Amino acid sequence: MMLLPDLFQLCGPCYGSHQNVYALSFPNKQELILFDTGLDETDRKIIGENLSVWGLDAYKISHVFLTHSHFDHTGNAAYYEELGAQIFMSEADAAAVESGSSGTISYCYGFPFPVCSGIQRLSGGDEINAGCISIKCYSVPGHTPGSMTYGFEWKGKSVLVTGDFLQTGTDSYTPVLGIRVDERYCYEAYCHSLKKMAELSCDIILPGHFRPCMKNGSRLLGAGYREILVNRDLYKG
């Protein structure tokens, strides 16, 4: 699905998968950037089919940005690394993906995590030049210690890729926060992250699950902070 010119959703509910994968394409360079990788070979097949539909299957995947360490977002990172992509994620979550530890929540899936050995570490405030744009990294711990969102300007819009940190619910103004499936989950850190990000100006939010928010993303960020405060008993460990 093309969300904006050269901005694609390659995997997600509209394709029969629970987890979203997004791509930016750079036709002049014949390159792609991926945000998250999906869970397994089934997701990889969906991604490949969509790349083919849009005539992107011959493009090189140069960079992969992972939002956090959970299997459903990082399960294909090793595959894309083998194809030559540079893999980026936060310092705090990288060790789990490199070792296949419980931080990948592989216990939820019943099969081993395919470890990815060459991750390049990121910290909040880093800006990475990839393709033809600058991608800003925001550290948002809580759902996992190393949850990270990625912001960039695209076709006149401010875009934020949020992973499980913040997702859309029944409509684009109803927030869904990441579940407490990870033993490293921290309510206090999550609350602080949401407060910080509620001050950010943003047009579009691309979440790790459910549907994208294509307008007034700042409103969804503010609603996320309100949600964790109003319903704090639901989110405390």
CATH number at residue 150: 3.60.15.10
Alpha carbons within 13 A on the beta-carbon side of 72: 17
Q: How many domains does the chain have?
A: 1
Nearest of 44, 38, 47, 46 to residue 67 by alpha carbon: 38
156: left (phi over 0), alpha (psi -120 to 50) or beta: left
Q: Are strands 21-26 and 86-90 parallel, antiparallel or unpaired?
A: unpaired
Residue 233 makes CB contacts below 8 A (sequence gap 6+) with none
- Whether this model's pTM surpasses 0.85: yes
The three-state secondary structure class of 202 is coil
Question: What integer pLDDT is reported at residue 170 of this predicted model?
Answer: 86
Domain that holds residue 7: 2-235
Tens place of pLDDT for every residue, the chain, 237 residues? 999 999 999 999 999 999 999 999 999 999 999 999 999 999 999 999 999 999 999 999 999 999 999 999 999 999 999 999 999 999 999 999 999 999 999 999 999 999 999 999 999 999 999 989 999 999 999 999 999 999 999 999 999 999 999 999 888 889 999 999 999 999 999 999 999 999 999 999 999 999 999 999 999 999 999 999 999 999 996
Helical H segments across the chain, by residue range: 41-53, 71-74, 77-82, 91-99, 187-197, 217-230, 232-235
- Please, is 18 exposed, middle or buried when counting C-beta atoms within 10 Å of its C-beta (0-12, 13-18, 19+)? middle
The pLDDT score that the predictor gives to residue 82 is: 97
CA distance 96 to 75: 12
